[in-house]
């Protein structure tokens, strides 16, 4: 079962079209595509900063005379970090745009998470409903 972070626009009337559901956890797409995944998700500042970080580490590694294996290991570690923390960068980007974290929903997919969230009345920081199923 996945956990979805609910992001709603602050200061506006909460329209259901403006609510964003982000799946919390490891992102394989962020791990594989790196900063391009951030650009695809419209996190331009985070993507630019991540691209600058990766580029500077690669350039610094060659200037310092690191072996290619060490540079590859550093790039792998950065990709792994982005896979685990990429969703947090998206949340940070949405918060900069005026959204706020408004709850957590635990469901099997995003569609169920939307149904549960809108059915519970959009209460701030609701206890994670489990889509009508009992936890073992």
pLDDT of residue 15: 63
Prediction pTM value: 0.80
pLDDT digit string, tens, across residues 12-50: 655 667 889 999 999 999 999 999 999 999 999 999 999
State mean pLDDT over 47-76. 91
Report which of residues 128 and 4 the model is more confident about: 4
pLDDT digit string, tens, across residues 79-122: 999 999 999 999 999 999 999 998 889 888 888 888 888 887 65
pLDDT of residue 103: 85
* Euclidean distance between CA atoms 45 and 97, whole angstroms: 12
* Euclidean distance between CA atoms 13 and 69, whole angstroms: 52
| Token couple for 34 | 């790196």
pLDDT of 123 over the 50 cut: no
Tell me how far apart the terminal alpha carbons of the chain are, to the nearest angstrom.
13
């Amino acid at each position: 079962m996945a956990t979805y972070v609910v992001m709603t626009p602050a200061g506006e009337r909460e329209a259901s079209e403006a609510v964003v559901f982000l799946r919390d956890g490891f992102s394989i797409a962020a791990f594989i595509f790196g900063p391009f995944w951030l650009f695809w998700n419209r996190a331009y500042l985070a993507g630019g900063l991540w691209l600058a970080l990766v580029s500077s580490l690669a350039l610094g590694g060659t200037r310092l005379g690191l072996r290619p294996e060490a540079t590859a290991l550093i790039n792998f570690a950065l990709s792994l970090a982005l896979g685990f923390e990429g969703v947090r960068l998206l949340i940070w980007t949405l918060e900069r745009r005026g959204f706020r974290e408004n709850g957590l929903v635990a469901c099997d997919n995003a569609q169920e998470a939307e149904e549960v969230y809108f059915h519970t009345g959009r209460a701030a920081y609701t206890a994670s409903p489990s889509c009508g199923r009992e936890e073992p």
